């Protein structure tokens, strides 16, 4: 991950590193110093390199003091033993930084490039969003009714809006919400996250907004007495509870991944793999074919996390963050189950269905 990036002699001086102990120092996007993985090195490290300015040799040094939990990096940059910059960075600074993306090589005209350009044009015209939303409305109207399909799409949009609001809270640019038939919705961003905490907040805010919507629908049901709002409240709660299953790529899976991989890589791979196996059993027992497709995507995500464990650009959660994330997750799960439990007690058979599914 990128630990710091400062201006040095008019060029960016960028330090990357991981909890395993490896560090790489770039000046003008060229490696000028590196240290191999060494968990016993301690918190202090010194990078030295030399540059030529005409016939004059410049001795450059970057002294770094790094703490991972809680995260803090203090640095001191010198040129020929004269101080040119110093400071420190914490978790908030990492959250606000824009990850470095190497420039892409120019591509010559090709059919693939033309198709890609056309796809981008469609996206910019928002045509894909309209097509997917229309297809979702048609699909859910075929399964249920037109009125319930509209209500379901509203629930999905409200859920995804929670993700969007969390992204904007962290200053990330968003691409908007995409509704995918039979799979729900997607909230996409133009930028990558920098910390595991961002992953937790962005993931959990979707179900959190869903929980709030169910509470609103419950109040509307109390005021009007209309069973439609009761059914929508419990159905929405069940959908968001399903989304909190600790299985990738569901939101609950992202919470589990962030917590477990912040502990250590072995805990991450064991817990996420065990959850994926549980997802296979669930998919088989309930005959959820489309869920099997999601499990494949989730498995690929686990493999990528494992392969990049020593070079992850994400700042891990500290112990406090892990506890807060876990408590937030279980409290939200309990709240959604509470809504389902309440409506099951009304005696209506349809409203009892989600609780019966949970019981099995």
Q: What is the pTM of this model?
A: 0.77
Instruction: State mean pLDDT over 72-88.
Output: 89
Strand arrangement, sheet containing 56-68: 44-53, 56-68, 71-79, 82-90
Instruction: State mean pLDDT over 23-41.
Output: 81
Question: Domain spanning 2-96 has what CATH number?
Answer: 2.40.128
SS3 41: coil
Mean pLDDT (the chain) is 82
Q: Which residue has the tokens 């350009």?
A: 117
Query: Each residue of 107-129: pLDDT tens digit?
Result: 554 545 545 555 554 455 467 76
Instruction: State mean pLDDT over 72-100.
Output: 84
Query: Each residue of 247-282: pLDDT tens digit?
Result: 888 899 999 999 999 888 888 889 988 888 888 887
Q: 23 Cβ partners below 8 Å, 6+ apart?
A: 3, 15, 16, 17, 34, 35, 45, 47, 64
Domain with CATH 2.40.128 in the chain: 2-96
Q: What is the DSSP string of 278-307?
A: HHHHHHHHHT-HHHHHHHHHHHHHHHHHHH
User: What pLDDT does 289 receive?
Assistant: 66
């Amino acid at each position: 991950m990128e630990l710091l990036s400062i201006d040095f002699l008019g060029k960016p001086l960028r330090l990357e590193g991981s909890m395993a102990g490896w560090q790489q120092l770039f000046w003008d996007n060229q490696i000028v110093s590196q240290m191999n993985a060494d968990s016993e090195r301690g918190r202090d490290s010194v990078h030295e390199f030399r540059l030529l300015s005409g016939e004059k040799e410049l001795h450059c040094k970057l002294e770094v003091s790094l703490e991972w939990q809680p995260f803090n990096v203090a640095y001191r940059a010198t040129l020929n033993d004269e101080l040119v910059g110093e400071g420190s960075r914490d978790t908030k600074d990492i959250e606000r930084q824009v990850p470095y993306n190497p420039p892409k090589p120019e591509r010559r005209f090709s059919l693939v490039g033309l198709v890609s350009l056309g796809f981008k044009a469609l996206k910019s015209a928002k045509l894909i969003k309209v097509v997917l939303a229309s297809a979702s409305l048609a699909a859910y109207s075929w399964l249920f009714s037109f009125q319930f399909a509209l209500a379901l799409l509203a629930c999905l949009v409200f859920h995804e809006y929670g993700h969007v609001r969390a992204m904007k809270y962290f200053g990330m640019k968003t691409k908007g919400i995409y509704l995918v038939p039979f799979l729900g919705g997607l909230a996409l961003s133009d930028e990558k996250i920098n910390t595991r905490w961002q992953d937790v907040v962005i993931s959990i805010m979707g179900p959190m907004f869903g929980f709030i919507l169910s509470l609103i629908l419950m109040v509307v049901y109390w005021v009007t007495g209309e069973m439609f709002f009761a059914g929508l409240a419990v159905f929405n709660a069940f959908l968001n509870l399903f989304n909190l299953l600790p299985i990738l790529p569901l939101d609950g899976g992202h919470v589990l991944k962030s917590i477990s991989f912040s502990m250590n890589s072995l805990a991450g791979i064991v817990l996420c793999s065990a959850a994926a196996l549980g997802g296979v059993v669930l998919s088989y027992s309930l005959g959820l074919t489309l869920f099997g497709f999601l499990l494949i995507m989730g498995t690929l995500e686990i493999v990528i996390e494992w392969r990049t464990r020593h070079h992850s650009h994400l700042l891990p959660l500290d112990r406090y963050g892990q506890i807060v994330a876990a408590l937030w997750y279980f409290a939200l799960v309990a709240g959604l189950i509470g809504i389902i439990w309440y409506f099951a007690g009304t005696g209506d058979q349809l409203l009892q269905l989600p609780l019966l599914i949970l019981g099995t």
